[in-house]
Amino acid sequence: MTRIVLWFIAILALAIGAAWLADHPGDVVIDFEGWRFYTSFAALAAFAVIAMALAALIVWLYGWLRRDMPFFGSNQVVKRQGRGLKLLNQSLVALSAGDHRLAAKLIEQAEVLLPPQPMVHLIAAEAAARAGDHAAASKRYQALESTDDGRFLGLRGLVGEAQRQGRENEALRLARTAFNENRKSPWVLRTLFSLEVAAGNWAEAGTALDKVVREKLIDPARASKHRGALAFAEATEANLRGDVAAAKKGFKKVLSHRPDFAPATAALAKIEYASGNRKRATKLIEDAWQNQPHPTLARVFKELDAAESARDWLARVRALTASKPDHPQSMMLMVDALMDAREYQVAKPLLDKLIKAAPTRAAWQYRLALAHALGEDPDPIEAALATAEAGEGWRCDACGHTPHAWSPLCPSCGAFDTVDWQDMGGTVAPRKSFRAEETIALLGSDSATDTPRGRDIHSP
């Protein structure tokens, strides 16, 4: 209402002024370069008003041309980029919905309308990767790497593509470059550790693990376990190339991180025995058996005197198992020694006790052998053996594979430090892993959970 009143007052004032000028036109004489112009003041005022109106029209027209003129107006650029951003958002939604073909089509249209954008390369690379066009995905990641804002993401994508194509050395080189770009990224630390392990670079993997621990990406207990695994791998390599001193030092380092790790104790005992220090080797096995009996220790213990008689072997077993006579592994070893010594009647009650405590397949196999030795009916024992549990053994927590011996990398899936001594019954629930992702995994896409060709590094 106030605006209407003000407009009315302004129009009324203009009308009054125009009427006054009409009643008092006045005279105006202008001399210019020998010319003399005669006019009234009212006409001069009207001319000035018209001139100002034309000037304002020219200014408006100039502004319109700059803003809205097709092809080069600034508003046209804004509208063009607006359409590009809309297509960019639509491509992101399509990619999240799993329609990588539509996403690729939309992102190509958006790229025409938008100035260079890292997000364009990222979405296009993801769409290409899901479509199986890894060459196009790599090209896009390379373009992303060349941008200032997207360099790290580009490197991450290239690492994933290199792993997917089995180019582990290239993936490791790129991961090291990515680490130089961002030394605190959880992804780059985990991936670098994974790739160093996969390449067998145990010392470099240990350095990467230290960085992982500093960033608190795994707990100290798991880190100590991993350090023991790395030390075991390094010591084993030293032993294979004949560097006994380095191997001994390495296996001792393993035991400092994993005191009950039977493979390290067994390897160290073999080195001591090969060096002529049988007493030291025996002491290592006896101390380890007192803490945690294990069949790996039993096998090495038997090798310490391969030429001994059955009676001597039985005596050594009694001395070894005296610290833990009721442990299933102690009873199993004692049964083995008793049967070697042909003391079947002594072995039978001990074996029955073992089967009652741990009715494993190995125990029933001893019972079947004992039945044959004693002339008993083997049929009921064979029936029990057919359904007996496997008992304890080495098993990979990642894939469920059951190797015959421990190794730092699972022989089946290549996962690092996932083979543990455990009950073979039940199913395997894979642990959360440090995965060197194949893709950037936009919006939590399923591509991040695909099985990579690289190796996993498992955390608790």
Buried b (16+ CB within 10 A) or exposed e, 181-210: eeeebebbbbbbbbbbbbeebbebbbebbe
pLDDT at 328: 93
Confidence of residue 444 (pLDDT cuts 50, 70, 90): very low
Cβ atoms within 10 Å, residue 49: 10
For the domain 218-306, what is the CATH superfamily, name and number? Tetratricopeptide repeat domain (1.25.40.10)
> Which of 238, 250, 160 minimizes the C-alpha distance to 206?
250
Q: What is the mean pLDDT of the chain?
A: 84
CA-nearest of 303, 296, 300, 222 to 262 is 296
Angle CA(385)–CA(390)–CA(394) in degrees, nearest 5?
155
Instruction: Judge whether residue 313 has pLDDT over 80.
Output: yes
Considering only 48-62, 141-155, 203-217, 386-400, which range has the smallest mean pLDDT?
48-62
38 forms beta bridges with: 29
**In the prediction, which pLDDT does 454 show?**
38
**113 vs 236: which has the higher pLDDT:** 236
Range among 124-128, 136-140, 218-222, 265-269 rated most confident: 265-269
pLDDT band at 75 (very low <50, low <70, confident <90, very high): low
Per DSSP (E only), the strands in 308-379 are none
Enclosing H/E stretch for 31: strand 28-32
The answer to whether residue 74 scores a pLDDT higher than 60 is: no
At residue 163, the 3 state secondary structure works out as helix
Residue 226's alpha-carbon distances to 217, 358, 404, in angstroms, are 13, 31, 20
pTM for the model: 0.69
Residues 229-258: pLDDT tens digits? 999 999 999 999 999 999 999 999 999 999
Q: Which residue ranges make up each domain of the chain?
A: 2-66, 218-306, 308-389
| pLDDT over 90 (residue 456) | no
Indicate the helix (H) or strand (E) that contains 32: strand 28-32
Let me know if 451 is exposed, middle or buried by CB neighbors in 10 A (0-12, 13-18, 19+): exposed
Output phi, psi for 341, to 5 deg. Answer: -85, 0
CB-based contacts of 11: which residues, under 8 Å, 6+ apart?
A: none
**């063009």: which residue's tokens?**
80
- Structure confidence at residue 425 (pLDDT): 58
